Structure 1
Amino acid sequence: MSHLFNPITLGKLHLENRIVIAPMCQYSAEQGRATAWHRIHLGHLALSGAGLLIIEAAAVEAQGRITPQDLGIWNDDTEQALADVLKDVRSYSAMPIGIQLAHAGRKASTDVPWRGGGFLQPEQGGWQTSAPSALPFNESDGTPQALTLARIEEIKQAFIDAAIRADRLGLDLIEVHAAHGYLLHQFLSPLANQRDDQYGGSLENRMRLTLEVFREVRRVTPADKPVGVRISATDWVEGGWDIAQSIALSQALGKEGCSYIHVSSGGLSPAQQIAVGPNYQVPFAAAIKDAVDIPVIAVGLITDAEQAETLLANQQTDMVALARGMLYDPRWPWHAAARLGEKVRAPEQYWRSEPHEVKGLFKS
């Protein structure tokens, strides 16, 4: 059996292969509620044959949305809308489905990417943002309010409530979003966090909120349900968050019962200098994998089957995640299985599409 199609377990969740569909914001919700777009989007991804599908970042409170069109999971309406979508998706797919819980912090209140993604003032439909410190992401953005200890407690409770809703929806996995310059990452990085209380200064203090949020989400989630964390391994800015600190955080999360670490990078500062290329983030995943005893997911321009297979064979990662590549080729796992001589799960309605040269590719 190939490494890519070798099963793996996260906690007690069995995955048929090591292909993960990473969370991808769609900016297509209505007041946080999933729409017909999510039914179409998640539906076709759930037929792809991947081992795991993680739903896009879902805001734990309305102020935590990146854009006004972000998916949410903060009240009964947003929970029910997602339940309706999941009911249809699950009617035709047994693929495990997780969700990413998020708060955008100072990167909230922006327009959708296809309209430039600029900061939205309140009169444009935006809102007052918040952050560890009163430091905007871009100089042209509105200045965020530095979070009081009381507001930090409210946000922690919002993560708890969202995790309870995610469990009630029957989702198979929860991922805490501490990457890409959003709120938890802002607390981690000294570039965004200039607090002088228990949440700022030392590495221990800057990690505190991420560990507290994880601990609380883990506490209210059934023990047999995996809870992982996505991190940015480096800010790609001198003096910012880096791989050494990421290893320390990953080790601390492992001690708290974290099921996996999903390793990305960047997003905290517009000054970042990223050397983008195939596997450009894999060395970070490999370094963390060497330092922890829990599974690691690598992501970042992993685009073909042999590439993914090599990363797993070389023990640089335990799983590979695709995002944009999966949007471009929603049947990527089918094609990977064909290239590696493996079988992949596909709906019976599509079995007749099996090419002659790979007969026997599909399984139900």
Structure 2
Amino acid sequence: MAPSNLNTPVPDIPYFTPQHLHSPGTPKELSSKTPTLFTPLQIRNVTLRNRIIVAPMCQYSTAPSGPEIGALTDWHVATLGHYAIKGAALVFVEATGVQPNGRISPNCPGLWDDAQIEGLKRVADFVRSQGALVGIQLAHAGRKSSTAAPWVSTILGRKSKRADKDIGGWPDDVKGPSGGVGQVWDGFFDSEQNRFWPPKALTTQEIKEVVQDFAKAADRSVKAGVDVIEIHAAHGYLLHQFLSPISNRRTDEYGGSFENRTRLLFEVIKAIRNVIPASTPLFLRMSSTEFMEDTDLGKELGSWDVESTIKVAKQLPALGVDLLDVSSGGNHPDQRIDGFNTKDCQVKIADRIRNAVHADNLKLLIGAVGLITEAEQARDIVEQAGTVAQLENGIHEEAEAAKEMTDAKDGKQPMADVILVARQFLREPEWVLKVAWKLGVDVWWPSQFMRVTTRLQF
């Protein structure tokens, strides 16, 4: 009869799942030869079992109305939990609205009500039971809110991607830093073809409510058992809209100068840090550049660029932010970036920011998103993966890129401290295990999968 400790249940959850003897995705043996990618990283009081994070990915899979509005479901347990089972260190819940009108779509999650805590707790409990950490990205979509889930407009045969009231949208309550038809994300308004509604400018009182609702959502996150909180200030959503002079035309204390345009972001950071435990890591995702510098609009109004992000980054450690998650773009359709030819653009920007912060002897971790598979440049693995050789070459490129970004061996400085991967996990939930295999790192698998590891082939 096997010792009882070999079948110990994970404590404090209302169902049985066995405690893994070893956390999946961790090396069976750490040595000086282990790639940094597969070494643990402590941030405040939590420890990532490796340096691979599942980035937030919209699923458009919560109820748009009724008592379950915005609440996570078993879909999220199944999808997010699967990444935890197969070795990801930290799994993020997608952009979660801190206000009802802060959701991207009617089917996006929210955390503006205590009734939404339980769904998040169920996801957090399962992810944590598999040895991973769980994070949540708190967000407000601003002028990019009240859009339809991608497949809804297609099914309904509509030209517009906007969500009207008939499918749970809020066309009369879309808000942004500035208002009017000219502030539609597309830059113009057409009653049939636009993807976005004209926003109304937030009042000063409404801005203060946004700040407090970010803090309340963060408090609910902690109550649900979330380990890491990320503030979404990227991709043209509300906080990014305030940062950019292209979308922020205000003339009060929240518009105009760099100090004024960053005011809301810093108020949100402070409000969240004040309500969450000192042991809880706080991340910030930013679009490091809008890629608008060379456009007529950018030349006329100015834009958010890498230098702006560096100025913010240098202020983050004093505010209690632990990691800057470096992304880009999303605030205007005229952005000028050729994704095919810019390969590791975001990674290089992350490296530049990291060097600038470290030059001032500041302690701030940097996360890079945009692996070869993320930007989908010059790779055949997705569209033309017709042979085993192509697939093997693809995973080789992925593995080497991930290793190179985080490795600090042989006197080299890493480009980032962690990597965030999104769409590739949708294609390959076992991506962590495949990368480990390709790099020659013998990692632990889930206890229930151990029968297959002796004949491991991908």
**TM bin (shorter chain):** over 0.9
Contact 1:35 1:81 in 2 (8 A): yes
AA matched with 1:329: E
Separation of aligned partners in 1, 2:272 and 2:336: 33
Matches within 5 A, 1:14-93: 14-30=47-63, 31-91=69-129, 93=130
* Residues 156-192 of structure 1: per-residue CA shift (max 9 Å, x gap): 1110100000111111110000001000000001110
Q: Corresponding residue for 1:310? A: 404
Q: Deviations over 1:131-154 (max 9, x none)?
A: 000111122332211000100011
Partner of 2:45: 12
What amino acid is aligned across from residue 290 of structure 1 in structure 2? Answer: N
Please tell me whether Structure 1 or Structure 2 has the larger radius of gyration of its CA atoms. 2
Q: CA deviation at 1:258?
A: 0.7
Q: Secondary structure at the match of 1:197?
A: coil
Which aligned pairs between 1:1-364 and structure 2 lie closer than 5 A?
Answer: 1-30=34-63, 31-91=69-129, 93-115=130-152, 118-127=161-170, 128-134=173-179, 135-138=183-186, 139-140=188-189, 141-238=196-293, 239=298, 240-277=303-340, 278-292=343-357, 293-303=363-373, 304-313=398-407, 314-356=413-455
Cα distance in 1, alignment partners of residues 318 and 264 from structure 2: 16
Local SS of the residue matching 1:281:
helix
Q: Distance in 2 between matches of 1:257 and 1:348?
A: 37
- Aligned with 2:39: secondary structure? coil
> Is the 1:237–1:271 contact (alpha carbons within 8 Å) kept by the matching residues of 2?
yes
Q: Which amino acid in 2 is paired with 1:234?
A: T
Partner Cα distance (1:302, 1:262) in 2: 17
Specify the SS of the correspondent of 1:192.
coil
* TM-fit CA distance, 1:4: 0.8
Letter in 2 for 1:244: E
Contact 1:279–1:299 at 8 Å: present in 2 too? no
Normalization by structure 2: what TM-score?
Answer: 0.75
Secondary structure of 1:230's aligned partner: strand
CA shift, 1:249, in A, is 1.0
* Separation of aligned partners in 2, 1:85 and 1:229: 22
Q: Give me the CA root mean square deviation.
A: 1.6
Q: CA deviation at 1:351?
A: 1.2
Post-superposition offset of 1:355: 4.8
Gaps of 5+ in 1: 359-364
Secondary structure at 1:283 match in 2: helix
Q: 1:178-221: CA deviations, max 9, x gaps?
A: 00100000000111001111111111111110011011101111
Aligned counterparts of 1:228 and 1:86: Cα–Cα separation in 2: 18
1:362 — aligned with what? none
Distance 1:186 1:336, change over 3 A: same
The 8 Å contact of residues 54 and 88 in structure 2, kept in 1 or not, is answered as yes
- Whole-angstrom CA distance in 1 between matches of 2:131 and 2:197: 44
Alpha-carbon offset, residue 353 of structure 1: 2.0
- Measure, in 2, the Cα distance between the counterparts of 1:186 and 1:328: 31
Q: CA deviation at 1:123?
A: 4.7
| Separation in structure 2 between the aligned mates of residue 181 and residue 248 of structure 1, nearest angstrom | 19
Q: Which residue of 1 aligns with 2:360?
A: none
Residue 357 of structure 1 and its aligned partner are, at CA, apart by: 6.0
1:36 aligned partner, one-letter code: D
The alpha-carbon deviation at position 124 of structure 1 amounts to 4.8
Q: What amino acid is the match of 1:233?
A: S
With the length of structure 1 as denominator, give the TM-score of the two structures: 0.94
Q: Which residue identity does 2:446 align to in structure 1?
A: P
Code of the residue aligned with 1:8 in structure 2: it is L
What secondary structure, in the 3-state scheme, does the structure 1 residue paired with 2:315 have?
helix
